Amino acid sequence: MDAVLTELETALGHEFVRPELLVRALTHRSRANEQAVTERAEPGHSAEGGNAQTSDTGDYERMEFLGDAVLGLVVAEALFVAHPEWHEGELTRVRSQLVSRQHMAEVAVTIGLGSHLRLSRGEDRGGLRSKGTVLSNSMEAVMAALFLDGGLEPVRVFARRWVMGDAVEHLAEELRSGAALGNYKSALQEHLQAARAGAPVYRLKSESGPDHRKRFQVEVRLQAGEGEPGKPLARGAGSTKKQAEQDAARRALERFRAAQVKAGIRASGAEKEEQAKA
């Protein structure tokens, strides 16, 4: 295990007994194919007997299948134990958000998984390292590697820290408020429609960082009428434009809810003053 992968082990919270499992979980099909072509061209390789030095790391596609199932089990178990008040439908909805491709891609970005991916030279130059689908697929494969190397416990530890974390409380709050679970843009639009306030409009404000670690900042505005600039509501950031838009919508909703709470407190105080005067 080289120093770079040792850094990833630290983020995963697990030291691999079989590091080849982690290497395979990080290997994209393009790299496996490129490596196979290179090895066939090496001296000593024969079409019949092959090359005794040929590696058999393969790619992460089969591991992705297993990791998806293991992660689903671990998250379901944690939610079942932590929230006895939730019914089946609520448990299913929250688990679905936590193990979704979008969320797993976000987890991958958080732990810097993209920089550890093993890609072909061509795909690496093409920006595949930062693609959400590749990140989420490889993240699931890493879950399989953890399971195959150490059983369910290292997957549980990782899921509690990175997959669930604060996200569970945010989703629980959405359940309580009746919002569109996990889709802050839809929830914001529904809120504004109910208040007859106008429509949300999203604008890209800035884009920074290298191709494999882009950072987008988006502003959401309230557009009350055609052609109007609109009132700014909030700004959000993310590794993709969609994630930044969701973050901006989430922040706007939080501001609306905070304002509603303050209004309720003021109304309650005014009512008590009236009662005291009476």
Positions marked catalytic: 68, 140
What span, in angstroms and rounded, lies between the C-alpha atoms of 79 and 91? 7
Q: Give the pair of three-digit tokens for residue 178.
A: 């009746």
Tokens 């604008």, residue located: 203
- Tell me how far CA of residue 68 lies from CA of 72, 112, 170, in angstroms: 6, 20, 23
| Sheet with 199-208: strands ordered across | 199-208, 215-223, 231-238
Q: Give the pair of three-digit tokens for residue 227.
A: 């052609």
CB 248 within 8 A of CB 220: yes
Q: Is 202 helix (H, G, I), strand (E, B) or coil?
A: strand
Residue closest to 146 by CA, chosen among 168, 123, 167, 162: 162
Residue ranges of alpha helices (H) inside the chain are 3-12, 19-25, 29-40, 61-82, 88-98, 101-110, 121-125, 132-150, 152-158, 165-177, 184-195, 241-277
Q: Which helix (H) or strand (E) holds 242?
A: helix 241-277
What span, in angstroms and rounded, lies between the C-alpha atoms of 227 and 135? 39
Contacts of 6 (CB under 8 A, 6+ apart): none
Largest CA distance in the chain: 100
What span, in angstroms and rounded, lies between the C-alpha atoms of 123 and 109? 18
Beta bridge partners of 27: 118
Q: Give the pair of three-digit tokens for residue 214.
A: 């882009």
